[in-house]
Structure 1
Amino acid sequence: MTNLPEVPARTLRAAYDRALTESPDTVAQLGRDGRYTFAESHDRSLRIVAGLAGLGTARQEPVALLLDNSLDGVHAWSGTGLGGMVEVPVNTAYKGAFLTHILNDSGARTLICEDAYVERIARVAGDLGSLRTLVVHGEVAAADGLRDRFRVVEFGELTTPEPAAPLSLDPAELMAYMYTSGTTGLSKGVLISHAHAYTYASREDQARPVAGDRILVTLPLFHLAGQWYGVYQALIHRALCVLEPSFSVSRFWPTVREHGITVTVMLGAMAELLQQAEPTPEDADNPLELAIMAPLASDVDGFRNRFGLDLAAVYGMSEIGAVLNGPPETVVGGECGFPRDGYELKLVDEAGQEVAPGTIGELWVRPEDPLLVMRGYHNLPDKTAETLVDGWVHTGDAFRTDADGRFYFSDRMKDALRRRGENISSFEVERVINEHPDVYESAVVAVASELTEDEIKAVVVPREGRVLDPVELTRFLIDRLPYFMVPRYLEFAGELPKTPTQKVHKHVLRDSGVGADVWDREAEGIVLRRSGR
């Protein structure tokens, strides 16, 4: 295990320089569309720098990417970074007003876009005030109808120029506008420096990965966990990055075995889907040694034992980077980890006073160097001033700590509930509901109580082909939750309303209240008290 380099050396250029010095001819990236050594990846990225410069793209100018997972997409990202340009990754589910907002707010004059998504651009073309150049990845003819409005370029034209000369990059230079989807408002563009992105991606302060590891990336490249905690992390550690188009339960383990994967990062939902699959005798017969999860699987020991691997916890967000790590040797269910060196963390109440261990409070983060967190929100000075106060980033996330100093995520502050004088984490209630074998996912919200404070409503999505009985599910929860956390109301749904980045629109579920199709356990005679029923 080593420490991270000093902040001035935390740039994409520095990461490539180290890889080119130590292992230039080692395969760096492997995907469905080819393979590249570190030297070849660097060369191709610099060709894209030259190609973008030839289109008139200047240093620190935003370039939007609306791309599926591919090595071309990887090199479009690394090309913008090595060229000192500012990447604007766009969620590939975005269309209409979502797409228009990001392209206009970022001010991107150039968009690199999959041919399959050109139609979406055509539908909003009249609303795009800044976009001038459309680079098409795939069949450039898909954009023929837009040539009277935009300069249309085929992606291959970006890769044909002679490589640009490597630039010296300042760690304070912006590397990205990362748009975070809100559940109640427009996405905000988080201003990310090179030092911030590098620190987020690096695990040089952890035991793994190391050079020689083979890292599987199944998350989308517009997602921080795919781009930085996958592709960029592999580059920093001189490990092989194996890039898949997307996550698939049926393809996951065959891919792991085919490529000798040793490390991967996954969202907790991915772990749940793998765990819900029917067990087979070959489950533990795989080369995967470490799965880094955010959040951890609901059954840590069960996942670890079934698949024969170690789990590690991590917590981060665009605004602050990855500030918590839970090493495999000490990981416990539900944790997000311990504070990372270089950051000061504290949990505070509504008055800004620190809370005691075990008490829920809002997470505030202060870095030892301001470059390690966001510079602010693009075009939102008031929101920046509200979030970044005296060097502290107010995250809006509620946590608690245990006696050993581990941090446990409780909720978004605005999603916390209070019932009968008890503070309740919707996240923790959802985690227990999701342990039921017939539950696919759930969302817990507060609804109005005839008394004071809140009543709890759980909106539950059954697994495909399963039917949930509200009484049986309630009994399941009574056995596993404190009496005051057991939802009074249950509502069953085919799906949860979500943003394009898969965050649940909890305000929609709250606003729907208690309708006629909502089951009420108290109306069914199941009334819970501290001493039991």
Structure 2
Amino acid sequence: MNHQGPAALLPQVVAGHAGEHGERVFVQEVGGGAQTYAETHDRATRWAMAFRSLGVKAGDRVSRFTPTCVESVNIWIGLGWLRATDVPVNTEFRGSILAATLENAQAELLVCHVRWIPAVLDVADRLSRLKTIITVGGPFEPPPAATLTFVDGQALVDGVDEIEPLDGPRPHDLAMVVYTSGTVGVAKAAMLTWQMYANGADHVSPPDDLLTKDDALYLPYPLFHIAGTFWTHGIARAGARVVLRETFSTSSFWREIREYGCTVTHFLGATANFVYRQEPAPDDADNPLRIASMVPLLKNLEDFERRFGLRAYSVYGMTELGVVSRTELSPRDPAACGRPFPEFELRIVDALDREVPVGQVGELVVRPTVPWTTFTGYFGAPEATVRAWRNLWFHTGDGFRRDADGEYYFVDRVRDSIRRRGENISSTEVEAYVLRYEPVLECAAIPAPSEWSEDEVKVCVVAKPGQAVDPRGLLDFLVGEQMPRFMLPRFVEVLAEMPKTPTGKIQKHTLRANTDTRRDWDRDVEMPTLSRPGARRPPSR
């Protein structure tokens, strides 16, 4: 089996390694067990048979509400063997956003970790399609009045007696439906093919074929995000090992890198800054890490590399496109995104989609040169798909410039979104939560500068006549509404009125231009217990 060819898809890749060197460890968990390639192949195909026994077939969607763990990898690969589609759910979702996501997936079957079943039951009356929950992560006793059918996942998989022949996915089959962060409105469901994952696995990996079977990746990111899933696929293609951690922890980072012998990692969002801002230690460079990808690059990358004895590079990509470009090792411009891969054609255009001259800033638009290497559209949203591909180019919403040598550089976001510590946050969704707070008349969510890099979430609010907005009361309300923690505003500014256009639209550019967080209500100062790591399971610092 040529499991390293151009269509080397994850289920077949793992099967190939299982046959050739099955004793090699593929996935392991920090503080948990490890699983070889042979064990992964066996477990994944047993999951495939278990799903088939419940009626899952090619083209079906199965929702998954599970943490970053070995079993999540098995479930994904198992669905792939059936040519069915994994639809993972952000594990911080609760309440209305969870209900909307599960309902949008139109899946009758959900694999759910026992710790999050109560959250699903809280919104069960809003789920018209869901019928069955497969439980994982331990025993669970269904409530007496449950309207859903519960199946013990461990018993289901252990009860598989025979593994029937399985062909596995084709390049054009859907590997996942991944919910974007809703940077221009409500989160959309991007349909990603297995070919896109194969490409992404190659493109996210270090340049110059530096990833080998002897490497180990430290991966503290979710498996509902392409940062986690592309890298897992990339490690499999190299026949290497991936070390999974549910959340990023600065205090544990170097200890675990050393303990698990990790040679490669990915710094997403502000995580590199968290590590860099720790007090220097004499043994900083005494670690096995040799390569790191970093999105975005630190401004003081050269000092970071020297201090920790490694080399770094960056990539540019997004859920809908995969990884479009990659830098060489040790780029010196923090805005660098490198050169595009041959599977993509890039342009930088003005507001009318006309290409701008070299060196001028415009919006980056992209289109593939090879079939099935980008998303196939937004599930259930054909109009949004058409809008995204205006004039036959995908519009990224990101401001870029290109130099005379063909190198691309990120400048700023064109679209109205906020990026906080690796999460793209929809201002529309933030505003929808805030507007549920009874005293609020109007709200605008905007990015505010962060001392950690990227953005902090800021909301500007206007109170209803005769009422007042108490920022502390607003935050208490948002927590009670189960707003995902990464969306919680840090800064609140109460205004007498919003700046508006003649047609009544709020002028967010005016709010951004006049932002001075020193005069804003600051959650980190006023509610440090909520802001500190550990509250509502944030990435620890």
Q: How far apart are 1:263 and its partner, in Å?
A: 0.7
- Tell me the alpha carbon deviations over residues 304-327 of structure 1, each in whole angstroms, 9 at most, x when there is no partner: 111110001111111111011112
Does the 8 Å contact 2:15/2:37 carry over to 1?
no
Q: Distance in 2 between matches of 1:518 and 1:73?
A: 43
Q: Distance in 1 between matches of 2:58 and 2:116?
A: 27
Q: Please tell me whether residue 360 in structure 1 is matched to residue 322 in structure 2.
A: no
- Quote the residue 1:150 is aligned against: 148
Matches within 5 A, 1:314-325: 314-325=315-326
Deviates further, 185-194 or 329-338: 329-338
Does the 8 Å contact 2:311/2:329 carry over to 1?
yes
- Quote the residue 1:459 is aligned against: 448
- Tell me the alpha carbon deviations over residues 52-94 of structure 1, each in whole angstroms, 9 at most, x when there is no partner: 1111212211111111121111211221122211011110000
Q: Please tell me whether residue 219 in structure 1 is matched to residue 221 in structure 2.
A: yes
Matches within 5 A, 1:20-169: 20-31=18-29, 32-142=31-141, 144-145=142-143, 148-160=146-158, 161=160, 162-169=162-169
Matches within 5 A, 1:398-477: 398-415=399-416, 459-460=448-449
Q: Distance in 1 between matches of 2:516 and 2:368?
A: 50
- Quote the residue 2:190 is aligned against: 190
Q: How far apart are 1:357 and its partner, in Å?
A: 2.3
Q: How far apart are 1:141 and its partner, in Å?
A: 2.4
Query: Taking structure 1 as reference, are residues 508 and 157 closer, same or farther at Cα in structure 2, changes over 3 Å only?
Result: farther
- Quote the residue 1:228 is aligned against: 230
Q: Distance in 1 between matches of 2:516 and 2:10?
A: 56
Query: Taking structure 1 as reference, are residues 334 and 140 closer, same or farther at Cα in structure 2, changes over 3 Å only?
Result: same
Q: How far apart are 1:515 and its partner, in Å?
A: 9.1
Q: Distance in 1 between matches of 2:489 and 2:321?
A: 23
Q: How far apart are 1:147 and its partner, in Å?
A: 6.2
2:49 counterpart letter in structure 1: A
Query: Taking structure 1 as reference, are residues 379 and 340 closer, same or farther at Cα in structure 2, changes over 3 Å only?
Result: same
Q: How far apart are 1:158 and its partner, in Å?
A: 3.6
Query: Taking structure 1 as reference, are residues 76 and 516 closer, same or farther at Cα in structure 2, changes over 3 Å only?
Result: closer
- Quote the residue 2:471 is aligned against: none
Counterpart selection for 1:19 from 17, 20, 36: 17
Query: Taking structure 1 as reference, are residues 518 and 284 closer, same or farther at Cα in structure 2, changes over 3 Å only?
Result: closer
Deviates further, 303-312 or 505-514: 505-514
Does the 8 Å contact 1:294/1:336 carry over to 2?
no
Query: Taking structure 1 as reference, are residues 506 and 414 closer, same or farther at Cα in structure 2, changes over 3 Å only?
Result: farther
SS at match of 1:285: coil
SS at match of 2:270: helix
Q: How far apart are 1:458 and its partner, in Å?
A: 7.5
TM-score, structure 1 normalization: 0.77
Q: Distance in 1 between matches of 2:11 and 2:257?
A: 30
RMSD (CA atoms):
3.3
Does the 8 Å contact 2:296/2:334 carry over to 1?
no
SS at match of 2:123: helix
- Quote the residue 2:497 is aligned against: none
Q: Distance in 1 between matches of 2:365 and 2:451?
A: 36
- Quote the residue 2:496 is aligned against: none
Query: Taking structure 1 as reference, are residues 404 and 147 closer, same or farther at Cα in structure 2, changes over 3 Å only?
Result: farther
Q: How far apart are 1:208 and its partner, in Å?
A: 2.6
SS at match of 1:215: strand
Q: Please tell me whether residue 375 in structure 1 is matched to residue 376 in structure 2.
A: yes
Q: How far apart are 1:200 and its partner, in Å?
A: 1.1
Query: Taking structure 1 as reference, are residues 173 and 184 closer, same or farther at Cα in structure 2, changes over 3 Å only?
Result: closer
- Tell me the alpha carbon deviations over residues 81-117 of structure 1, each in whole angstroms, 9 at most, x when there is no partner: 2221101111000011111111111111111111111
Q: Distance in 2 between matches of 1:517 and 1:309?
A: 35
Query: Taking structure 1 as reference, are residues 397 and 516 closer, same or farther at Cα in structure 2, changes over 3 Å only?
Result: closer
- Quote the residue 2:265 is aligned against: 264
Query: Taking structure 1 as reference, are residues 11 and 508 closer, same or farther at Cα in structure 2, changes over 3 Å only?
Result: farther
- Quote the residue 2:179 is aligned against: 179
Q: How far apart are 1:388 and its partner, in Å?
A: 2.1
SS at match of 2:272: helix
- How many aligned residue pairs are there? 450
What's the % identity of the aligned pairs?
31
Q: Distance in 2 between matches of 1:176 and 1:241?
A: 20
2:95 counterpart letter in structure 1: G
Q: How far apart are 1:238 and its partner, in Å?
A: 0.7
Query: Taking structure 1 as reference, are residues 365 and 506 closer, same or farther at Cα in structure 2, changes over 3 Å only?
Result: farther
Query: Taking structure 1 as reference, are residues 258 and 348 closer, same or farther at Cα in structure 2, changes over 3 Å only?
Result: same
Q: Distance in 1 between matches of 2:270 and 2:36?
A: 32
Does the 8 Å contact 1:320/1:374 carry over to 2?
yes
- Quote the residue 2:465 is aligned against: none
TM-score, structure 2 normalization: 0.76
Deviates further, 122-131 or 152-161: 152-161
Does the 8 Å contact 1:214/1:262 carry over to 2?
yes
- Quote the residue 2:200 is aligned against: 200
SS at match of 2:293: strand
Query: Taking structure 1 as reference, are residues 333 and 10 closer, same or farther at Cα in structure 2, changes over 3 Å only?
Result: same
SS at match of 1:383: helix
Q: How far apart are 1:358 and its partner, in Å?
A: 2.1
Query: Taking structure 1 as reference, are residues 346 and 91 closer, same or farther at Cα in structure 2, changes over 3 Å only?
Result: same
Q: Distance in 2 between matches of 1:221 and 1:392?
A: 28
Q: Distance in 2 between matches of 1:139 and 1:4?
A: 36
- In structure 1, stretches of 5+ residues that fail to align are 417-425, 432-443, 445-456, 464-493, 521-533
SS at match of 1:372: coil
- Quote the residue 1:283 is aligned against: 284
Q: How far apart are 1:22 and its partner, in Å?
A: 3.8
- Quote the residue 1:447 is aligned against: none
Q: How far apart are 1:15 and its partner, in Å?
A: 1.9
SS at match of 1:153: strand
Q: Distance in 1 between matches of 2:199 and 2:516?
A: 50
1:350 counterpart letter in structure 2: A
Q: How far apart are 1:403 and its partner, in Å?
A: 3.2
- Quote the residue 1:438 is aligned against: none
Q: Distance in 1 between matches of 2:211 and 2:146?
A: 49
Does the 8 Å contact 1:68/1:220 carry over to 2?
yes
